[in-house]
A and B are shown apart, each in its own frame.
Chain A
Amino acid sequence: MATRVLIADDHPVLRSGLRVLLGADPDLEVVGEAGTGEETLRLAEELRPDVILLDIGMPGESGIETVRRLKAKLPASKVLFLTMHEEEGMVLEALNAGGDGYLIKRADEAEIVQAIRAVRRGDVYVHPAMTRALLSQAETAERPPEPVEPLSHREIDVLRLLARGNTNRQIAELLALSIRTVESHRANLMGKLGLSSRVELVTYAEEHGLL
């Protein structure tokens, strides 16, 4: 049985181009076109497509809002984002909101068809150029090392305040120390923990329940 597809995009020229392209594939059937999020929801309920090709930048609510509402109403429907946006942050947001796939519009016809099949099967499909976004998310999850030498109470105080986004001067004021002393505590604790930067320090504090 052919996969039934709903195209949601606010550009009619683009929709019809896509319809012609996809229509040539015997396994696909374009069952409808929607121009807004509202219309997408209505047609999805009415037509029960297998896969919805969803644009992000539509007038009114964005595709990201639409997918949330779609998934709440029709959890079984598969949503494949087909968008102009090639920003990495967008991919994560789109998938977190409930999207099953993320494709950029300049993808070739073959890739679009492949992606539709993948999400129909229940897989997640992300355009290769965008997968790096998912990796960089994994990178930040790497665990910092355990300290070679235990931190003093003062160093833990300084660590906590540094991790909360305080400047050296602010910490000096909060702990009634000189800025020089704060700087030396900071250098010592970074040395003990083998850390070299503020972000690493925040990650460390986070992992050790210091925040």
Chain B
Amino acid sequence: MKTKKITFDYKFGFSVKSKNVFTAEKGLSEEKVRMISQMKGEPKWMLEKRVQAYHFFLKEEMPEWGADLSKINFDDITYFIRSTDKQVNSWDDLPPEIKDTYDRIGVPEAEKKFLSGVSAQYESEVVYEKVQETLVKQGVIFCDMDTALKKYPKIVREYFGTLIPYSDNKFAALNSSVWSGGSFVYIPKGVIVKLPLQAYFRMNAQAFGQFERTLIIAEEGSSVHYIEGCTAPIYARDSLHSAVVEIFVKDGAKVRYTTVQNWSKNVYNLVTKRARADKNATMEWIDCNLGSQITMKYPAVYLMGEGARAEVLSIAFAGEGQHQDAGAKMIHFASNTSSRIISKSISKEGGRTSYRGLVQVMPNALNSAVFVSCDALLLDEASRSDTYPTMRIKNNESTIQHEATVEKIGEEKLLYLMSRGLSKVDAETAFVNGFIEPVVKEIPLEYSVELNRLIRLEMEGSIG
């Protein structure tokens, strides 16, 4: 990985004050929910919210659409792992394909251990400190959610759960009851944060938690780019990941949220992500789904203010045994708003990619413009691609355009590349990289270089 990441580090943030002995047993109960809150020393209102959410989760039905979630056994999952708990006990316990990938894409030793969860804490602290220095000077707050709740309870309370209430869906309810970790980002008025904030830079030891809760608030005229995830595969012992991300983009502000997800192939990745864009605000979701067994993720933007702009650029790659059910939601409430969804998906060896999108233009959202383009590439006979878009238009002064294409790599184009001496694998890889290029070019260089390398490995069939 890039030099930036090599020196990146991680500070051990809060310590868990546990009065009770809490063992990481499986299954969930109201008692456990209360214990989580107590261990974290949370205010009463948060505890109440968690309990309410838990009860909603219990009674809510599983969604009847989307990927096949029938194999999830809620009783067989651990809902809270302390930051000192390790994902695997030793390097040897890691699945071989993950170790192999780290080697092939050149992940340095220390980082391997960190990513794999073998080491609960990253050694060096220097860079992290430096980053924080710059941010603090600008008045920017960037810390983990647990800390935010302690240090900035008023702000958190004002926004938490207002865009995605626990009643939104079963998995938002689950997250709302057992959430732990995640990022809190607050950018004051007019502040432009030049350095992309990476989830990596956060404090707690667990690089990627199961039930992360992220809250980003960008005040008027501010701007920030937040990146989460990692192209290197992350081995997760726990198979259910259900995160919630709420983003508030105020007047004239701009937020870009980039996710590169490559969870190990045992993971169910069910995420609810939503942003609210006010007047002349810009919200961009860049979403890359490479790993996990099943992903259900539909980054959404509610365009509430006039002149708001939203974009979702997404890539989904599904190999054997994977189902990426992803897409976007754009709801236009105000006039002169525009949105764009570009989705690129690739399926091979029996993988399945589904695009699921909703575009809704409300009666008052006059002069809205929407453009959706979904392209899918099927690399072999066994694979599958679906497109399930919905357009609901309620005024006659807007233009909505949607197009989708499903095809395989043209024989003619393959032959052309091979006639230049590229092997079949090289030709297909070049083609796939070219196919996703419109999205990849928006991702920071260090990720995109790895992404391309990863695609090559996938194409060679040497992973999984």
Please determine whether chains A and B interact with each other in the same assembly: no
Q: List chain A positions with a Cβ less than 8 A from chain B.
A: none
